Each structure stands twice: as C-alpha cells, then as structure tokens.
Amino acid sequence: MGKTVLVIVEHKHGKLRQVALESLTVAGQIAGDGGRVISGVIGDDVAQVASELSNYPHNGGYVVADERLGTYNPDLYAAAVNALVEQVKPDVVVFGHTAIGRDIAPIIAADLEAGQVSDIVGLVTDDDGSISFIRPIYAGKAFERRQFLTGPWIVTVRPNNFPAITRGETEQIEFTPLAFTPPASERFVVRETVQASDGKRDLTEASVVVSGGRGVKSADGFRPLEELANVLDGAVGASRAACDAGYCDYSLQIGQTGKVVTPDVYIACGISGAIQHLAGMSQSKLIIAINKDEEAPIFGIADYGVVGDLFEIVPKLTEELKRRKIG
Amino acid sequence: MNIAVLMKQTFDTEEKVVLTDGRISEAGVKFVINPYDEYAVEEAIRIKEKHGGTVTVLSVGNQDVAQSLRTALAMGADEAVLIDDHRIGTDEYSVSRAIAAYLSANPCDVILGGNFSVDLGSGQVAIRVARLLNLPHVSAVTSLTVDEGRAAAVRDLDGDVQTIEVALPALFTAQQGLNEPRYPSLPGIMKAKKKPLTVLDLDALKLTTSDIEPRTARTSVELPPARQAGQRLTGTVDEQVQKLADILLAATHVGMSKHA
C-alpha cells in the first residue's frame, strides 16, 4: 500500500532550490505504488515558485502565502507546516536538510510526537516493503541504516545525493491556497537579514567546491580560489586550519565540525587532509588535491594530485578554463 | 539568571570509526564534550559571569559521561545532572522527552546546546526540547547578547545572516565562531570535584517507558568504501594545468555548451 508524502518545498529568491527537486525524488520512492506525493510551498510571493513546480510530476500541491512568511521565522513556519499537515494528513513529511529544514523539521516532529531521520543520503526498500534510510554518522566516517518503528515519519534529505525529479512537458499541478493562523505571541522577531552576496552558491548545494587550507596563507590568499570557483560556477570552502587562522569565516568550514559536502568535484588547495577534514569531504565524487607537500595525507584519497604551488597553479587553471570557455 | 546547557559526550574528532561485530567499537576511544556543546558551556559561563546565576550542565547517558560533566564543572559550571537510565534509547524522540521532563520541573531563563553532535549529527534534540517546553529557540547562533527578559542572537542561515530577538526564557544552539572555549584551570579542576553531580533515572523524572518509546531504530552500520589514492599529474606546470582543465571540463560540463 502506498504512502501519502508531503514535501515542504524550499525556494530562494523566487526559484526552486535544487534540494526541493531531489526531495520530490525521495518522496516518490517512499510513496511507492499507489502512494501520493503532495508539495507544500510556504512564503510571501510564491506564485512563480508554484508555477515552476507545477511542471514536475507529482499528485498535488498547496501554497501557504502570507507576507509574514517572507523571512524564515520558526514560529510562523511551524504554523504553516502544521496547516499543511492538517490538510494533507501525510504518512511522511520530507524536508531538505538545509538551514531551514534542519530548524523546522524537529519542531514538527515534536508536535507530531514523531520520529525523524535526518540528513539521509540513500534509502533501501527491502523485499517485505519496509524502508531503511541511509545516513552518515561521525560526519561520514560511517553510515547507519535507520527504520521507523511507528508513524508519522519525518525525513530530511541531504542536498546533492539524490537525482532531481525530471521536469514534465507541461504544467500538471493545480495549487490550492491554504490559510494559516500565526501564533498570537510575537516572541521571535527577525530584526535583520543580510543576504549572502549575489551569485554566491550555497556550499552544501554547490556541484563544485574549491577549498583552501593553511597553505592559502591569508585572507587575500582565498582570492584566486574564489576566481576558480566562479569560473566553475562553484563555491569556496575551507579547512578548520584556515578558519582558525582567521583567513575566512567559520561558515566556510568543511569537516566533522563544520559542513559536510558531497559535490561532483572537490578541489583541495593547500589542505593537508586531517581526518576531521576528510570526514567532511571524502564522499565527493571527484577529488583533486593541490599541495606543495607531496607527503600530505590528502593525496591518499585524491583522484588526481598535483604537487606544486597553489598560487601558481590555481590562477593558471582559472585562465585556462576561461580561455576554453570563450574559445 | 539560571542557565542550562544540554551537553553530549562524543568521540574525539581525531578518532577513526572501527566496527567490531557490526557495531561501532568504543575500545580505546578518547571521549570529549561534543565540540559544539563546548561552545554552549563557554557561552553559559560568560552569561553567568555577566549577569550572575547558576549554570547547570545536563547530559543523557551512562556513568562514563560523568567525566565530561566534570570537565564542564571545571570550566566553571555550577552543577551537573546526568540522566542515566538504560530504558532511554538513542532515538532523539526519547532523549528530548527525558530532557524536557527535567527542564519543565527545573525551569531556566536560558537553555544552550550545540548546533549538532559530531557523532550522530541529527541536530534534533535541542530544538525538540524547545518545542516541548513551548519556548522560542534560535539555532546555529554565532553571537548572543542576553539582557533582562530578552536576548539578541545572530544566526547563519545557509550564508544569509539573520539578527533575531527573542523573549526569554529561550533556547539557543551554538555554532562555530560563537566564542573560544576556555581550558579548565587547575583550581577549577579541584573545585569541580566538590560540585554537585546528580544522577536521575526515569522514575525521578516521573516518566514511564511509554513516555519515551523510541520512534526510530538503527538496523545496521557500515563503513564507507576506502578511497584509493589516484593519479599524480606529471610534466611541466603548464602541462599539468592543461590536464586539470581537461579533467574539470569533463567532470562539470562547464563551458561545454559553447562547443556544442
């Protein structure tokens, strides 16, 4: 028997986030034969997002639109998600494992007295139809399989680990507006939101990550890495050593403390490869390491290694890629 | 101002994960305060130093966890509570209900926790606790200013930076950059030995097994396939750059449309 799966669809600047399309794939797998996948879009002006989303095959959708939902506020979002849950009565609610998903999912899990499996990177359906979720533990040093013992289920999906759902030819879904009742007390007030600079890719969603370590030597040393990331439409990351040395912000840190990334290509520049850092990036599909020290442990896991000076190689590589793109 | 810190003891991040009979081996492993919780302990002590009050560190686990609670006491926390009952599983639902039961009986103005634990890393327990206690929370804070009845927090939202104001009592989870945790001093370590460490079981929390029945369970654990060292590029710098460009263009399709 199929399940009813509600996907809370994330969007940013009027566009669907990639993880939302990946979550729809996950939802389809969980729903199974005879199941239903319903999307829920929460925000201020969501018409554009809903219109885009309607091209992706699933079984129905709701929008909770309110100007107070333009900025993430857990109290208001929880009210909106709970309105969707009440309407859809899902067996499973799926979120992206993003800043918002990580924050809102446990609230809904608490409200529903439900279990939650966070940060899934895979799922397996056994012969008896039971579903096991695969998720990294110890930042990817190991993986566990988890099952739900009772419903409803709450799941958060790690970006970059499932294929995006395939876009259909035409708009297929009609979205139904849903009212929501904000909580009476305003105990949580967003005073200010400073948005990340335009065009900057979110680290966990980027398909290419150019990462710098102690070998980058200074904050200015990150500039050639940024230029390489730009030409590859990627994001810049860092090792703990670089963050601790003050070369960059902690929000860029990749590792067991910090973010775990699984891009298509990871380029480690001047990173020795401490075990904590490897935990955060070793599931990347292709790893390239550039380091002066030919003994650096990073070479032990890199698909391609270059022993040399990053300040010579990275700018040359950027120029070469630019030349070929124009060429 | 009374402050509680939700603290978990975890593997040191230097540790490798080794499986014995399909389970994660703890033999010879060094345990530490979860690094994110260490920021929470430090922040709690700083708030106390400014506003007065007491800092209680709270853990769910077995007697081995006492060592990390003592470390927090040595840093400057005032008392420790260990909820130790084998009936509590590792499921976040169970753990959060046990913690919430303690905190609803022992209310605090500020509750601090880590953004996530570096072992299981699900990032659920603190937020669940806030919700169970019907308190506002701000997760992943990089700056926190507490005043009478209110707090201002700065949080990282996938690159965006939000400034939030909440009414106290409230819960906050610590992100890297919040502070630089202190090392316990020798006098601190001596004093910690005399500070109270209370052990509670489910009965003391007036909970029954059915209140904390887990919703999820681990069925197996596996190690990822070991990654092999690949190829060292050779030749002149320019030749290596050419090769890297070939590899990158093949792997990313960037710029391919121009040639298509």
What amino acid is encoded at A149 in this protein? L
Q: Is the pLDDT of residue B257 over 60?
A: no
- Indicate the SS3 state at residue B96: helix
Element spanning B153, H or E: strand B150-157
What residues of chain B, 87 to 126, have a C-beta less than 8 Å from chain A? 91-93, 96, 116, 118-125
Compute the distance between CA of residue A281 and CA of residue B242 in angstroms, rounded to an integer: 25
Q: CB distance from A124 to chain B under 8 Å?
A: no
Q: CB distance from A312 to chain B under 8 Å?
A: yes
The pLDDT of residue A327: 59
Q: Is the pLDDT of residue A170 over 90?
A: no
CATH for A4-177? 3.40.50.620
The pLDDT of residue A325: 82
> What DSSP character marks residue B18?
-
CA distance to partner chain A, nearest, from residue B233 (Å): 6
**Average confidence score pLDDT of chain A:** 94
Give residue A201's pLDDT band: very low, low, confident or very high (50, 70, 90): confident
Token readout for A41 is 């879009």
Identify the closest residue of chain B to A115 by CA–CA distance: B215
Contact B34, B16 (CB under 8 A): no
Chain B interface test: which of A92, A108, A116, A313 (most B C-beta within 10 Å): A116
| A53-65 pLDDT tens trace | 999 999 999 999 9
| A212-226 pLDDT tens trace | 999 999 999 999 999
Q: Is the pTM of this model over 0.90?
A: yes
> What DSSP character marks residue A254?
B
CA distance to partner chain B, nearest, from residue A174 (Å): 30
What amino acid is encoded at B256 in this protein? M
Q: Length of chain A, please?
A: 327
Backbone angles phi, psi at A146, to 5 degrees: -125, 145
| A13-51 pLDDT tens trace | 899 999 999 999 999 999 999 999 999 999 998 999 999
Q: Is the pLDDT of residue B159 over 80?
A: no
Alpha helices per DSSP H over chain B = 35-51, 66-75, 92-105, 125-132, 186-192, 237-252, 256-259
Q: Is the pLDDT of residue A77 over 50?
A: yes
How far lies A261's CA from each of A32, A205, A256, B10, B121, in Å? Answer: 29, 8, 11, 21, 14
Residue B26 φ/ψ region, left for φ over 0, alpha for ψ in the -120 to 50 degree band, beta for the rest: alpha
Which residues from chain A sit within 8 angstroms of residue B233, using beta carbons? Answer: 304-306
What dihedral angle (degrees, nearest 10) is formed by the CA atoms of B44, B48, B54, B58? 0
Which residues from chain B sit within 8 angstroms of residue A190, using beta carbons? Answer: 162-164
Contact A190 B163 (CB under 8 A): yes
Token readout for A253 is 């840190």
Query: Could you tell me how many CB contacts below 8 A there are between chain A and chain B?
Result: 271
> What is the pLDDT averaged over residues B110-124?
96
Q: Is the pLDDT of residue B258 over 80?
A: no
Contact B86, A110 (CB under 8 A): no
- Indicate the SS3 state at residue A44: coil
Q: CB distance from B216 to chain A under 8 Å?
A: yes
Contact A256 B166 (CB under 8 A): no
Q: CB distance from B209 to chain A under 8 Å?
A: no
Of the candidates A105, A100, A92, the one whose C-alpha atom is nearest the C-alpha of residue A10 is A100
Cα angle value B40/B2/B103 (rounded, 5°): 80
**Average confidence score pLDDT of chain B:** 94
Q: Length of chain B, please?
A: 260
CATH for A203-326? 3.40.50.1220
Compute the distance between CA of residue A318 and CA of residue A223 in angstroms, rounded to an integer: 12
> What is the pLDDT averaged over residues A122-145?
94
The partner residue sitting opposite B11, judged by closest CB among A138, A187, A192, is A138
> What is the pLDDT averaged over residues A96-101?
96
Token readout for B60 is 């769910």
Chain A interface test: which of B216, B218, B234, B253 (most A C-beta within 10 Å): B216
What amino acid is encoded at A128 in this protein? D
Q: Is the pLDDT of residue A197 over 70?
A: no
Which residues from chain B sit within 8 angstroms of residue A72, using beta carbons? Answer: 157, 162
What amino acid is encoded at B187 in this protein? P
Count CA atoms closer than 13 A to A156's CA, side-chain side.
25
Q: Is the pLDDT of residue B7 over 90?
A: yes
Give all strands (DSSP E) within A83-127, no chain letters: 92-96, 115-120, 122-125
Q: Domain coordinates of chain A in residue numbers?
A: 4-177, 203-326
Q: Domain coordinates of chain B in residue numbers?
A: 2-200, 225-260
Give residue A79's pLDDT band: very low, low, confident or very high (50, 70, 90): very high
How many C-beta atoms lie closer than 10 Å to residue A43's C-beta? 24
Q: Is the pLDDT of residue B141 over 60?
A: yes
- Indicate the SS3 state at residue A312: helix
Of the candidates B180, B193, B185, B182, the one whose C-alpha atom is nearest the C-alpha of residue B70 is B193
| A272-319 pLDDT tens trace | 999 999 999 999 999 999 999 999 999 999 999 999 999 999 999 999
How many C-beta atoms lie closer than 10 Å to residue B206's C-beta? 9
Q: What is the DSSP string of B114-169?
A: ES--SSS----HHHHHHHHTT--EEEEEEEEEEETTEEEEEEEETTEEEEEEEESS
Token readout for B154 is 């700065």
> What is the pLDDT averaged over residues B170-196?
96
Residue appearing with tokens 């121009």: B258
Contact A143 B251 (CB under 8 A): no
Give residue A265's pLDDT band: very low, low, confident or very high (50, 70, 90): very high
Which residues from chain A sit within 8 angstroms of residue B159, using beta carbons? Answer: 195-196, 200, 202-203, 251
Three-state SS letters, A52-79: HHCCCCCCEEEEEECHHHCCCCHHHHHH
Q: Is this complex scored with an ipTM above 0.90?
A: yes
Lowest mean pLDDT among A105-109, A179-183, B168-172, B181-185: A179-183
Contact B222 A142 (CB under 8 A): yes
Q: In what order do the strands lie in the sheet with A286-291?
A: A235-238, A208-212, A265-269, A286-291, A304-307, B231-232
Distance of CA A13 to the CA centre of its chain: 16
Lowest mean pLDDT among A147-156, A250-259, B21-30, B170-179: A250-259
Token readout for B180 is 């630089």
CATH superfamily of the B2-200 domain = HUPs (3.40.50.620)
> What is the pLDDT averaged over residues B144-169?
93
Q: Is the pLDDT of residue B255 over 60?
A: no
- Indicate the SS3 state at residue A242: helix
Q: Is the pLDDT of residue A88 over 80?
A: yes
